């Protein structure tokens, strides 16, 4: 029996509200035991029949979807901030062990790595999902909405999966479950990377993809391809978006202090006014995009903070401003930093002031591997239907999967999560909502790519 993509909705369980984390954990153990029985029964039925591979995949996903969605609800209800994903990583590790995977924990603080090995030798493929949530108070009516609070950089904050990392984690758990159900027919190794701190480590800490690589996340294994996806509200659940080339921008930060001379505001001639000089510098930075770069080179230079003075009748001695730079190419990145220093120092010198410039390079651009993407798109279209696989635009947001993509040929996809007929706030907003129906779509997309690489 073939399970159509649109039929996955019938496998979605009714949401349940868990009173405490202990209630969550007890229910998890029960569900994992039931899941193991379901998969065993499914594989007996599949072995006894001559079902087409696509039907096997659809039936397997249909069987595991209720379990995975229930896991997603629990992860969403009890979110955790970057480098603090203790409960989430414990749940992930427990599920992977129930599937018979080799599991390593404590990677880059709270990361989890699961190693799946088919019954025959084959390629090494890596998959990644991020697990951390954001300091956002959720504004939704979901029965499994987050009511959690925590501390972020010394402040009491609400915690919410406002960027869909609970969906990413659920999808990858679903992929692991699907592959485990077909272990005896697969050739190769899959490394499941559940990453903490994609949103950035707390002040004074290391974290994320860079730290996982620094700690040797893959050990002796050398993946030949790596895949990941991210939720998007640009299109509805059921669709997958892809970008040829650069998919996400870099994320650099700058902080500038203009050093002038203070005076009474009634006698500006006695001052070297850092406010005026700083304002001129902020405006001057926009000429980089307008006059130093091609109109076909996407670049953002945004000043987001400006601070100076304490009274309206005193010209202060200093003014500070800061912001972010987003680019897609290394050449543009170099040019922007060089011109920023020239413009700020030049304007400060012309006004009789000096400038201290702290420019820090952060996450690099995320660039999809051209050949791997060319080979992957037809696989996705065959699995999901051509109308459900769409060419989309890159995003100016940063994504630290780029560190992995710099080491391994990679493909990064966008998973539509908006429930048809509804709206959702954007990622990182209190009203962001992801439809459960997107989960089996993500599972099928990533699993199909893995099976294709194994067959190659």
Q: How confident is the model at residue 18 (pLDDT cuts 50, 70, 90)?
A: low
Q: Does residue 434 register a pLDDT over 70?
A: yes
Q: Which residues pair with 230 in a beta bridge?
A: 414
In the predicted structure, residue 10 carries a pLDDT above the cut 80: no
- pLDDT 10s digits, 384-410: 999 999 999 999 999 999 999 999 999
Task: Kindly report, as residue ranges, where domains of CATH 3.40.630.10 are found in the chain.
Answer: 5-246+365-455
Measured N-to-C along each axis, helices 21-48 and 165-180 cross at an angle, to the nearest 10 degrees, of 40
**Where in the chain is CATH 3.30.70.360?**
251-363
Average of pLDDT values for 355-383?
98
Give 56-68 as a DSSP string. Answer: HHHHHHHHHHHHH
Q: Which has the higher per-residue pLDDT, 426 or 53? A: 426
Average pLDDT score over residue span 374-384: 98
Each residue of 269-285: pLDDT tens digit?
A: 999 999 999 999 999 99
Question: What's the whole-model pTM score?
Answer: 0.89
Q: Which percentage of the chain shows pLDDT scores above 70? A: 89
CB-based contact 226:410 (threshold 8 Å): yes
Reading the block at residue 408, the tokens are 């391994």
Please answer whether residues 447 and 172 qualify as being in contact, where contact means their C-beta atoms are separated by less than 8 angstroms: no
66-83 mean pLDDT: 98
CB neighbours of residue 174 within 10 Å: 27
* Strand 410-418 versus strand 225-236 pairing type: parallel
Q: Report the pLDDT value the prediction gives residue 11, as an integer from 0 to 100.
A: 44
Is residue 415 within 8 A of residue 231, CB to CB? The reply is yes
Write the CATH number of the domain with boundaries 251-363. 3.30.70.360
How far apart (Å, rounded) are the C-alpha atoms in residues 234 and 242? 12
CB 200 within 8 A of CB 101: no
Q: Which CATH class is domain 5-246+365-455?
A: alpha beta
For helices 53-77 and 438-455, the axis angle rounded to 10 degrees is 130
Average pLDDT for the chain: 92
């Amino acid at each position: 029996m073939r399970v159509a993509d649109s039929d996955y909705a019938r496998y979605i369980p009714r949401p349940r509200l868990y009173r405490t984390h202990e209630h969550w954990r007890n229910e998890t153990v029960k569900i994992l035991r039931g899941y193991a029985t379901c998969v065993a029964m499914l594989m007996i039925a599949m072995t006894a029949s001559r079902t087409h591979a696509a039907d096997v995949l659809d039936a397997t996903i249909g069987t595991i979807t209720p379990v995975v969605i229930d896991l997603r609800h629990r992860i969403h209800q009890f979110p955790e901030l970057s480098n603090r994903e203790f409960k989430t990583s414990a749940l992930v590790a427990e599920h992977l062990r129930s599937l018979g995977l080799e599991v390593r924990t404590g990677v880059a603080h709270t990361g989890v790595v699961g190693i799946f090995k088919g019954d025959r030798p084959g390629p090494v493929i890596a998959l990644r999902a991020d697990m951390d949530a954001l300091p956002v108070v959720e504004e939704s009516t979901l029965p499994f909405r987050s009511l959690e609070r925590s501390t972020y950089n010394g402040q009491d904050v609400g915690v919410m999966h406002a960027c869909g990392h609970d969906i990413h984690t659920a999808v990858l758990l679903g992929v692991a479950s699907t592959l485990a159900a077909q272990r005896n027919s697969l050739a190769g190794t899959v490394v499941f990377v559940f990453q903490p701190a994609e949103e950035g480590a707390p002040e004074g800490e290391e974290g994320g993809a860079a730290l996982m690589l620094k700690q040797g996340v893959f050990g002796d294994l050398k993946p030949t391809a790596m895949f990941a996806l991210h939720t998007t509200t640009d299109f509805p659940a059921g669709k997958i978006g892809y970008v040829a080339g650069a998919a996400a921008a870099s994320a650099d930060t700058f902080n500038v202090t203009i050093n002038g001379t203070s005076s009474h505001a009634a006698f500006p001639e006695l001052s070297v006014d850092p406010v005026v000089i700083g304002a001129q510098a902020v405006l001057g930075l926009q000429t980089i995009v307008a006059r130093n770069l091609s109109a076909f080179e996407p670049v953002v230079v945004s000043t987001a903070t400006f601070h100076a003075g304490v009274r309206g009748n005193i010209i202060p001695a200093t003014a500070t401003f800061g912001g972010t730079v987003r680019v897609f190419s290394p050449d543009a990145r170099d040019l922007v930093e060089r011109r920023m220093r020239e413009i700020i120092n030049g304007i400060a010198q012309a006004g009789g002031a000096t400038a201290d410039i702290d420019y820090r390079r952060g996450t690099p651009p995320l660039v999809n591997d051209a050949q791997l993407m060319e080979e992957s798109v037809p696989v996705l279209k065959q699995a999901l239907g051509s109308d459900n696989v769409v060419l989309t635009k890159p995003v100016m947001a940063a994504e630290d999967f780029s560190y992995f993509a710099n080491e391994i040929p990679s493909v990064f996809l966008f998973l539509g999560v908006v429930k048809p007929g509804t709206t959702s706030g954007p990622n990182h907003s209190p009203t962001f909502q992801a439809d459960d129906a997107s989960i089996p779509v993500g599972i099928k997309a990533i699993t199909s790519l893995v099976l294709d690489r194994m067959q190659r």
